[in-house]
Structure 1
Amino acid sequence: MGLLIKAEFRKILTTKMWWAMMIPALLLAFGWAWGVAALTNSIVSDVSDVDIIEEFNISFDDLSWSVIALTRSMNIATIFPMIFGTLALASEISRKTITTSFLTAPNRGLLLSAKAVTYVIWGLLFGVVIAIGASIGTAVGSESSYLPDAGQWLMILLSGILGCLLWTLLGLGLGALMGSPVGALVILLIYSLLVGPLGDIVLTAVTEGSYLAGFLPNGSANGLTGSTASQVLATQVIDLITNAGGVVDTDGREQFEQVVRAIAGAPGALALWLSGLIFLGWTALFFVFGILRNRTRDIT
C-alpha cells in the first residue's frame, strides 16, 4: 500500500495539475474574503448610523461580522478541490492510462484504496491552503473589531477544510463512476455553481424556511461553515439583547440563524454536525459506487 500511495503522489507531483488548481484556489479564497469583508464593513457601518440604532445605543462592534467573509470565501473556493478530485480517476480512465496501473498493482482494490488515501491527503492540503487564503483576505478586508476570536475562527476553518476534503472525494467518486472527465466536471460545476445555490434558495422560500435544502449535497456542504457562522453571530446577538434587558425566545434565535445562514450562502442548512453527516453520506454514496464500478470496469 505504501508504495502505491507513493506512486500516486509521484504521478500527481510530476504534472502541473496540483499547482494549477491550488494557486487559483488560494487567490479566489483571498480575493473573495477580502471583498465580502469590505462589503460587510460598509453595510454594518451604514446600519450603525441609522437613528433608531443610535437611539437604543446598540453597538455592532461586539459582533463578529467577518465570519460571513470567512464562510463565503471557503465555500466558493471548494470548486477547485472538487475539480481536482473529479479528474483523479476520470482522466486516467478516459486516456486509458489506468490500464497500466491496474495491471501492475497487486489487485484493483489495493490500487483504488491507495488512490482514496492519496486524495484524502490532497483534499486536506487544498483545505489548508484555502483556509490560509480566506483568513488573510478576511483579516485584510475587515475591521479588527469585527473579527471572531481564535476559537470561532478555528471552528469555521476546520469545518471549511472538512468541506474541501469531502468535495474532493465526492468529485473523485463521480468521476470514477462516469469515466468521463468532461461529463463529470460539467455536471458538478453546473450543480455546485448554479443549480445547487438557486435550488437551495427556491426550496427555502417555497417551503417557508424549512430545512429541506439542508438535506441536499450543496446545502449540506455549505452548511458546514454556514451553520458555524450563524451560531457565532446568533449567540453574540442574543447576548447583546439580553444585556440590554431584552429576551429572545427559541423561535427568534432559530429565525435569526436562518437569516445569517442565507447571508452566508447556506439557506435552509441544518446544524454543523447534521450538515457534516449528511454531506458525508452523499460523498460516501458517490465514492463507494465509483470505486465499485472500477473494480470490474473493462480497461482494454
Structure 2
Amino acid sequence: MGRLIKAEFRKTLSLNTWWILIIPLVLVAFWMSFAWGRITNDFADWIGSGTARIIAEQAGVSADALPVGLLSIAHGVNIAQLVPAIFGVFALAGEYNSKTITTTFLTAPNRVSALTAKMITYILWGALYGLLSFAVSALATAITVDSDRLPTGGQWLAAFGATVLAYILVTLFGIGFGAVLNKVVLAVILLIGYFLIVENVLVIAMWNTTDVLGAILPNSTANGIVGGVAAEAFGIDSINLPGGVEHWDKLGLQLSAGAPGLISWWAAALVFLAWTLVFFVGGWASNQRRDIT
C-alpha cells in the first residue's frame, strides 16, 4: 500500500493541476476573507441594534467583543473549497480521460488496493489545501479585523480543524462525483454551477416554504462545517436562534455565517459525510466494473 500511495503522489506531482489550482485557491480565500474582514467591522456596529442585539444579549457578550473575524474566515474558506472538489474530480475521471487508469489498475494487486491508495493520497491533498486556505484566510482576517474582534485561541483552533475536515470531505466528494460521471469537463461545470448558483437559488427561493434545505443539501452542509463554528460563537444556528427572530432576518444572519439553514458544525459534517459516501461509494462501485481497455 505504501508503494501505491507513493505512486499516486508522484502521479499528481508530475501534473500541473495541483499547483495551478493553488492560484485560485489563494486568491479566492484571501480576497473573500479580506472583503468580509472589512464588512465584519461594520457588522460589529450593526449587531448592537435590532434583532442582532437580542442575540448578542442572549449570548451575554458585548457587541464590540464578538469574534466577527470568524465570519471572515468562514466566507474565505467556504468559497475556496470548490478548488479541492475540482481537484478530486481529476483523481479518477481525469485518469480515464488521459487513459492512464489502465496502468494504475494493472500495476496494483487489485482495483480495491488502487482506489484505497488513491483515497488516502487525496485525503492528504485535501488536508494540505485546507491548511493553505486557512492560512491565507487567517492572514486576510488579521489584516482587516480589529484585534479585539479576532477569534480566541480556541476558536482559531476550531476553525482550523473544521477547515481541514471540510476540505478532506469535499475532495473525496469531488472524487466520487467525477467517478460517477466519468467526464472531467461535465463534472467540473456541474460542480461549479450547482455549488455556486443552483443550490443557493433553490434554498433562498424556498425559504418562505421551508428552511430545512440548507441543513440537508451538499453545498450548504459543506459550508456549514466551518460556518457552524462561526455560528456557534454568535448563537445564530437554526437551533439556538430565539423565537422572536423574523424569518428573513434568520436567513440574513445565517448567510453572514456562510451557510443558510445551518445547524451545528458537527451535524453539518455528518450530513455532508453522508453525501460524500453516496458519491464516493457509487464511484467506487462503478469503477469495479468499468472497462479500462
Q: TM-score, normalised by structure 1?
A: 0.86
> For residues 62 and 215 of structure 2, what CA distance do their matches in structure 1 show?
32
Q: Retained in 2: the 8 A contact 1:231–1:257?
A: no
> Secondary structure at the residue paired with 2:141?
helix
2:206 is matched with which residue? 203
Describe the superposition over 1:93-136 as per-residue Cα deviations: whole angstroms up to 9, x where unpaired. 12211111111211111101110110011011111110101110
Structure 2 residue 287 is matched with structure 1 residue 294: yes
1:23–1:202 Cα change, 3 Å: same
Q: Does 1:64 align with 2:57?
A: no
CA distance 1:212–1:285, change in 2 (3 Å): same
Partner of 1:126: 129
**Cα distance between partner residues in 1 of 2:204 and 2:250:** 15
What do residues 173-205 of structure 1 show as CA deviations (whole Å, max 9, x unaligned)?
A: 111111110111111111111112222222333
After superposition, the CA RMSD in angstroms is 2.5
Deviation at 1:254, TM superposition (A): 11
Matched, 1:10 2:5: no
Structure 2, unpaired ranges of 5+: 54-60
- Kept in 1, the 8 Å contact 2:44–2:66? The answer is no
Take 1:94 and 1:76, find their aligned partners in 2: how far apart are those partners? 27
Q: Which residue of 1 aligns with 2:278?
A: 285
- AA aligned opposite 1:138: T
Write the distance in 2 (CA, Å) between the matches of 1:281 and 1:228. Answer: 20
SS of 2:21's partner is helix
Higher mean C-alpha displacement, 179-188 vs 18-27: 18-27
Q: Which amino acid aligns with 1:262?
A: L
Flag structure 1 segments of 5+ consecutive residues without an equivalent.
236-247
Residues 5 and 114 of structure 1 are in contact (CA less than 8 Å); yes or no, is this contact kept in structure 2?
A: yes
Distance in 2 of aligned mates of 1:285 and 1:49? 44
Contact 2:172-2:276 at 8 Å conserved across structures = yes
Q: Give the structure 1 partner of residue 267 of structure 2.
A: 274
1:213 corresponds to which residue? Answer: 214
Contact 2:179 2:284 in 1 (8 A): yes
Determine the C-alpha separation between the residues in 2 that align with 1:224 and 1:108: 32
In 2, the alpha carbon distance for the partners of 1:249 and 1:23 equals 38
- The answer to whether residue 155 in structure 2 is matched with residue 163 in structure 1 is no
Q: Which residue identity lines up with residue 230 of structure 1 in the other structure?
A: A
Q: Distance in 1 between matches of 2:233 and 2:251?
A: 13
Provide the residue aligned with 1:144 in structure 2: 147
CA distance, structure 2, for counterparts of residue 201 and residue 112 of structure 1: 38
Conserved? CA contact 1:68–1:264, under 8 Å: yes
- How far the C-alpha of 1:277 sits from its partner, in A, is 0.6
Question: 1:84 corresponds to which letter in structure 2?
Answer: F
Look up the equivalent residue of 2:269 and give its one-letter code.
Answer: G
SS in 2 for 1:206: coil
How far did residue 75 of structure 1 move?
0.3
Higher mean alpha-carbon deviation, 83-92 vs 40-49, is at: 40-49
On the 8 A contact 1:211/1:270 being kept in 2, the answer is no
Q: Distance in 1 between matches of 2:190 and 2:241?
A: 42
Say if 1:230 and 1:257, in contact at 8 Å, map to a contact too: no
SS in 1 for 2:235: helix
Q: Is the 8 A contact 1:74 1:131 kept in 2?
A: yes
| Paired amino acid for 1:277 | L
Question: Computing the radius of gyration over CA atoms, which structure comes out larger, 1 or 2?
Answer: 1
Tell me the equivalent position of 1:99: 102
The CA deviation at 1:20 is 0.9
Instruction: Describe the shift of the 1:287–1:60 C-alpha distance in structure 2 as closer, same or farther (beyond 3 A).
Output: same
Contact 2:44–2:64 under 8 Å retained in 1: no
Distance in 1 between the 2:156 and 2:266 partners? 17
CA contact (8 A) 2:29 2:80 kept: yes
C-alpha distance in 2 between matches for 1:270 and 1:187: 26
Look up the equivalent residue of 1:92 and give its one-letter code.
Answer: E
* Distance in structure 1 (CA, Å) of the matches to 2:245 and 2:225: 19
| SS, match of residue 113 in structure 2 | helix
Match among 243, 257, 262 for residue 251 of structure 1 = 243
Q: Given the two structures, how large is their TM-score scaled by the length of structure 2?
A: 0.88
Aligned twin of 1:41: 41
d(CA) in 2 for partners of 1:254, 1:74: 28
Which one of the candidate residues 192, 214, 218 is aligned to 1:189?
Answer: 192
Question: 2:47 touches 2:63 (CA, 8 Å); kept in 1?
Answer: no
CA deviation after TM superposition for structure 1 residue 45, in Å: 4.3
